[in-house]
Structure 1
Amino acid sequence: MFHIPGHHHISMITKNASENNHFYTQVLGLRRVKVSVNQDDPSMYHLFYGDKTGSPGTELTFFEIPQVGRTYRGTNAITRIGLLVPSKDSLKYWKSRFEEYGVKHGEITMYAKRPALKFEDPEGLRFVLVVSNGEKVDHWETWEKSDVPVEHQIQGMGTIEITVRRLNKLARTLTDMFGFVGVSQTEDEAIFQSIKGEVFGEIIVKQIDGPSEKPGRGSIHHLAIRAKNDAELAYWDERVKKRGFHSTGIVDRYYFKSLYFRESNGILFEIATDEPGFTVDSNVDQLGTKLDLPPFLENRREEIEAKLSPIEENGKKILP
């Protein structure tokens, strides 16, 4: 039987690609590892940020929708993203950095039983930095050109918060279908891990009644969890279908293969393969420096580029 090794990536909505690029590269110090388009709607950018190569488990991805409205927060949504940092000293570094850059943030506290610091990006997307205690994914690579010192760099995704009306429904999906382990539970909150004791596959589920979230800028579209290869993905496709969920079937995204389904609360999950990764059409040095298109869209490049607004950095056009 296969198991889920952890998170793969998480995808959000942004209104402005240039402002988004500034925050995630210049403030958070992540690498822009891929600039592409939404393969289902190539009129919009799809931006990826992560470690040096955009390793699985480190990727924050954004769809740019310039006309998108605000998010109306509510339940039945993915509501916060945990990012791993090495130490408690790192939290102090980030608190000071957030003050320098005018980033909305709280005080150093505890979250999911770990030292933590909550903050938001300029569009209200909610994050929390959590201390990894060395529990980062093994393939995380330092981005040596980051403005953030190596000893404080973000090491990828940690605890992901999901808020639902029916905790037990999501709990059974995570444990019975995917083999997640429950590590703590109260009446209205539970923590699950894909690998017991490891934070890089951790999900905290909060049960809150009320209206469903209305997504907009700064909202989370879906969470992708990892399958190591095609064989594992095919296995999970069958598991999803046998559980009674509708699966999209396996979709070739060129940089990985994946499938999508919604669990009983309406949370959209993706399962994505580790392979082949972002270097399939770029060498490591060139990652994120040009508009990359999957082969089936390459013959539409001129049309696609004409519809995309330039991405600017420090007042200069850098893409497309």
Structure 2
Amino acid sequence: MNKLSGHHHISMLTKNGKRNNAFYTKILGLRRVKKTVNQDSPSMYHLFYGDRTGSAGTELTFFEMPVAGRTVRGTNAITRIGLLVQSYDSLIYWKNRFELLQVEHSDIVTYAGKDALFFEDHEGLRLVLINHNGQPIPAEWQVWDGTDIVPEHRILGMGTVEITVRYLQRTVNLLQELFDYTVVTEDDKEVRLQSIAGETFGEILVKELEGPSEKPGRGSIHHLAIRVATLEELNKWDELIKARGLDSSGVVDRYYFQSLYFRDRNGILFEMATDGPGFTVDSAIEDLGNKLDLPPFLEGKRAEIEAILEPLD
């Protein structure tokens, strides 16, 4: 099996797609690369934001759930998303921008061994900007130019993802033993691991916290997806996950990529997703995110779906 190459995407819940779209495109300067629907429940939007093409490792995705209540924070949940920026000066730039735009944020602090700036979106989703300190990024990442963010301070892609669990070693052992993540730092209450040693774009910080499990709602994180190069590899991972005694969804065709889903022993939902075919399978690069795209099996219901969805722009 090839070494896993980092995060693929991360998916959250939002109560209002229009406000969500405004925050991630206008305030964070990400590109909306795909406007589609939840394939399992097509009455709700599934929105993808990322770099110029929505490269694996840059994608933040949101399911719109108008009935979503507030999140009651707790354990056994994915609890924070790291986003990489180029330098310490970038953190200063973003701190000033957040103050101007009244975005909830911290001072510049140290997080996961790096300079960082905590902030929350309008629904309380917890994020952190991390100084990547000019280090190389995956070759396929392409920063989006259609934003007012100064070029040298634009968000590059995903960094450290934080997972909070009741039983630390259950999640750590899975990442180490099955997926060959490398432990970077550890103590009794938290362990930081990387899918590729030395690379933050595949880093997971696992923290231990006793207490009740998180009750998901608006601004909560639904699952983390990990990159797999090919469908052949994904099928092999399906076999290995089942051999470990975990329930797998089996391979699911999501049209833009192939996926499988499983939960670890703490109940954390993981997805494994292939790099391709990608979002340009049904759109030219210049047109990404402009119209409602549907996978072929939903195309016959387009009129019905479009009648339900509220316009975002």
TM-score, length-scaled by structure 2: 0.99
The equivalent residue for 1:249 is 250
CA distance in 2, matches of 1:142, 1:14: 25
- Do 1:11 and 1:223's aligned partners in 2 also have CA atoms closer than 8 Å? yes
Structure-1 residue corresponding to 2:195: 194
**Offset at 1:137?**
2.1
Mapped to 2, the partners of 1:138 and 1:169 lie a distance apart of: 33
Does the Cα contact within 8 Å between 2:143 and 2:155 map onto a contact in 1? no
Match of 1:90 in 2: 90
One-letter identity of the residue aligned with 1:11: S
Deviation at 1:150, TM superposition (A): 1.3
> How far, CA to CA, are the matches of 1:40 and 1:20 in structure 2?
21
Separation (CA, whole Å) in 1 of partners of 2:225 and 2:138: 15
- Cα distance between partner residues in 1 of 2:266 and 2:35: 32
1:60 corresponding residue in structure 2: 60
How far apart are residue 136 of structure 1 and its match?
Answer: 2.3
Q: For 1:255-274, list aligned pairs within 5 A.
A: 255-274=256-275
Write the mapping of 1:13-52 to structure 2, written as runs, cut at 5 A: 13-52=13-52
SS at the partner of 2:198?
Answer: coil
Structure 2 Cα separation of the partners of residues 42 and 228 of structure 1: 27
Unaligned regions of 5+ residues in structure 1, if any?
A: 312-317
How far apart are the structure 2 equivalents of 1:4 and 1:226?
Answer: 6
Contact 1:84–1:136 (Cα < 8 Å) also in 2 = no
Structure 1 residue 299: Cα displacement: 0.3
Partner of 1:170: helix, strand, or coil? helix
Alpha-carbon shift at residue 310 of structure 1 (Å): 1.8
Q: Which amino acid aligns with 1:107?
A: D
- What SS is found at the alignment partner of 2:262? strand
| Superposed displacement of residue 135, structure 1 | 4.0
Code of the aligned partner of 2:118: K
Amino acid at match of 1:167: L
List per-residue Cα deviations over 1:58-89 (Å, max 9, x = no partner): 00000000111000000000000000000000
Give the share of equivalent positions with the same residue, in percent: 62
Q: AA paired with 1:236? A: W
Distance 1:137 1:219 in 2: 27
| Count of residue pairs brought into register by the alignment | 312
With normalisation by structure 1, the TM-score equals 0.97
- In the TM superposition, 1:39-188 aligns within 5 A as 39-133=39-133, 134-188=135-189
Q: Deviations over 1:151-209 (max 9, x none)?
A: 00101100000000011010110000000000111000110000000000000000000
AA matched with 2:255: Y
Name the SS for the 1:163 alignment partner. strand
Offset, 1:107: 0.3
Q: Deviations over 1:212-240 (max 9, x none)?
A: 00000000000000001111111111111
Q: Which amino acid aligns with 1:159?
A: T
Which residue in 2 is equivalent to 1:306? 307
Q: Secondary structure at the match of 2:74?
A: coil
**1-structure distance, mates of 2:177, 2:220:** 28
Give secondary structure in 1 for the equivalent of 2:19: helix
Q: Select between 134-143 and 182-191 the one with higher mean Cα deviation.
A: 134-143
In the aligned structure 1, how far is the partner of 2:143 from the partner of 2:198?
23
Contact preservation (8 Å) 1:135, 1:199: no
**10-19 vs 127-136, which moves further:** 127-136
Kept after mapping to 2: 8 A contact 1:191/1:205? yes
> Which AA in structure 2 matches 1:284?
I
Partner of 1:295: 296
| Inter-partner Cα distance in structure 2 for 1:245 and 1:3 | 21
Distance 1:300 1:207 in 2: 45
Q: How far apart in 1 are the matches of 2:238 and 2:150?
A: 41
Map Cα deviations across residues 229-272 of structure 1 (whole Å, 9 max, x no partner).
Answer: 11111111111111110000000000000000000000000000
Residue 309 of structure 1: how far off its partner (Å): 1.5
Task: Give the secondary-structure state (helix, strand or coil) at the position aligned to 1:231.
Answer: helix
* Mapping 1:202-213, distance limit 5 Å: 202-213=203-214
Q: Which runs of 5 or more residues in structure 2 are unaligned?
A: none
**Equivalent position amino acid for 1:10 in 2:** I
**1:3 positional shift:** 1.7
Aligned-residue CA RMSD in angstroms? 0.6
Counterpart in 2 of 1:6?
A: 6
